[in-house]
Amino acid sequence: GGRPGHGRRLLGFEPVSTSDADTFVVPEGYEAQVIIPWGTPIRPEGPAWREDGGNTADEQAEQVGMNHDGMHFFPLGHGREGSRRGLLVLNHEYVDQELLFPDGAADMTGEKVRKALAAHGVSVVEIERRRDGSWERVDSRYARRVTGDTPVAFSGPVGADHPALRAAGRPRGTLNNCSHGVTPWGTYLACEENWNNYFGTTDTGWEPDATQERYGVSAEGGGFDWHLADSRFDLAANPNEINRFGWIVEIDPKRPDAEPVKRTALGRVKHEGCTVTESRGRVVAYTGDDQDGDYIYKFVGKGNWRMQRARGRSPLDHGTLYVASFQDDGSGEWLPLTHGEGPLTRENGWADQADVLLRTREAADAVGATKMDRPEWITVNPRNNDVYCTLTNGSGWDSAVNPRKPNPYGHIVRWTEKHRDHTSTTFEWDLFVLAGDPAYDERVDLDESNIFGSPDGVWFDDDGRLWIQTDISNGSQHLAEKGYDNIGNNQMLAADPETGEIRRFLTGPRGCEITGATATPDQRTLFVNVQHPGESTDHWGETTAENPRAVSNWPDFRPNGRPRSATVAITRVDGGKIGA
Ligand code: FEO
Ligand code: CA
Ligand code: CA
Ligand code: CA
């Protein structure tokens, strides 16, 4: 598969086949070890996992959360030691309430809400590589859970005292943390994606305002039903609580007592991730708003980030937020979302910059940003500063940058900022790959070694290998109907960005998505996450007619157990670099 390589070969493994088995498959010469599945105590002496879902809310708050997603390995120690010991920091995107409770999702109670909150958020666990090459979670003064109930601070233009944030109790928690970011100063950014789903109300007098409408906030909510048992999540009883969500959340993994901080200058959308880079000493953060027809944003910090920090200021609190406009001729422009500029004036109803940020989507509508097919992860090529963004699937939006209508398979767009400077306000773009199956779409230039659909995670390793992870949803639509019957379980591929060569590196168990990618500094261990194995089934082995491939009992395969999200540590038998 793929075109012959030019120059140095980046990809040195034999591609694996597509798979519909309930296993995790890596190439010949590679090994995979499951670590820290949902329910693992974050400290060795912590509460043990109960396979019947019977752990309490308090126990869950001391265990690894559910539905692992974005993740980063922070080395502890220098040189070789840093590749043997570190902090794994990972998001827990959402909870499957059928699996979370022994009696399933029905009959919401206060205790169930507490447990669901405890299974969300972020885990910080210390892991160590043993002499036999395996990885193990060890005791640590850094071990920590940030949950939907952890006290949080606000910073930037929307401060904690802003009237829009006044609600019952102090601000707490982070929810729906999908992808993530890492700052040059060593902190972790958790990103709040589908936060609207947690709120609802039975008050028939409640109606969404224009901003809530734009964010998809509804009385019914997204199926969690927490508002039935906890007024914190009731849109009528506690109307401003929802304004505390939709932000980027900074967590310092080395300071377990420090409150997470919501950095409001980066905007309020359904943040998929927050990819941080820098140019000319200024910090730049890219973020996608994952909704069909929504936008790609970037934040450019004001001044030199080191000097800002030396003065005790956060480089993420001061700067300009932009939204992307992609022209059909391959050019592009970053449009500022700055109060007083363009249409974002007082005369047009924009009170101040805090107002612009609280209503980021409407501000981006007003400046005329380009609608995209669900922007997911963003990554930067370390060799040339090119930026890559996955557009997982969508309606197709009548533009060259979203060329398929509808777009069930997704694609990856790439752009080069002017002068390869991330602070530039213009860029040039092209399409890196159109995903899919050539049996259904002849424009697709892929074959059995690399067909894939619905790219979601995307990440460059230090050598410039582009890793692509897929999230084909296990909804009710039949696989053949949507043209996905040859593609198999979700997978991870590696690409050479110069030659365009792509090879399938691994396949996941049934019903899961593959997400989260991070490596030790020596690139000899790659960590990835298996999220929601068994999605859309009854989870104990009964199939659905629509998608029998979704049935899973991975990774424990216990007769009375349940499928669990987990991290997988991938190494090479010969100890070499992953992917090389
Ligand atoms: Fe949480 Fe957009 O994936
Ligand atoms: Ca995702
Ligand atoms: Ca998914
Ligand atoms: Ca996704």
pLDDT digits (tens, 9 = 90+) for 369-389: 999 999 999 999 999 999 999
> From the CB of 376, is ligand 1 less than 6 Å away?
yes
- For every residue of 150-201, DSSP letters joined together read SB-EEESSS-TT-GGG--SSS-B----EEEEEE-TTS-EEEEE-SGGGG-B-
pLDDT digits (tens, 9 = 90+) for 149-190: 999 999 999 999 999 999 999 999 999 999 999 999 999 999
What is the Cα–Cα distance from 275 to 388, expressed in whole angstroms?
A: 11
pLDDT digits (tens, 9 = 90+) for 389-428: 999 999 999 899 999 999 999 999 999 999 999 999 999 9
**Average pLDDT estimate for 220-234:** 98
Q: What is the largest CA-CA distance in the chain?
A: 67
N-term to C-term CA, the chain: 17
Closest CA to 232 of 245, 223, 241, 219: 241
Compute the distance from residue 514 Cα to the ligand 3 centre, in Å: 9
Answer whether 84's CB lies under 8 Å from 522's CB.
Answer: no
Compute the distance from residue 533 Cα to the ligand 4 centre, in Å: 14
Compute the distance from residue 413 Cα to the ligand 1 centre, in Å: 17
In CATH terms, the superfamily for domain 30-540+547-572 is TolB, C-terminal domain (2.120.10.30)
Helix H or strand E encompassing 112: helix 110-118
> From the CB of 93, is ligand 1 less than 6 Å away?
yes
* Domain range summary for the chain, segments of one domain joined by +: 30-540+547-572
What is the Cα–Cα distance from 530 to 25, expressed in whole angstroms?
A: 12
In the DSSP assignment, the letter for residue 131 is T
What is the Cα–Cα distance from 464 to 10, expressed in whole angstroms?
A: 8
> From the CB of 513, is ligand 1 less than 6 Å away?
no
Model pTM above 0.95: yes
**Average pLDDT estimate for 281-306:** 98
Give the pLDDT confidence score for residue 536 in this predicted structure: 63
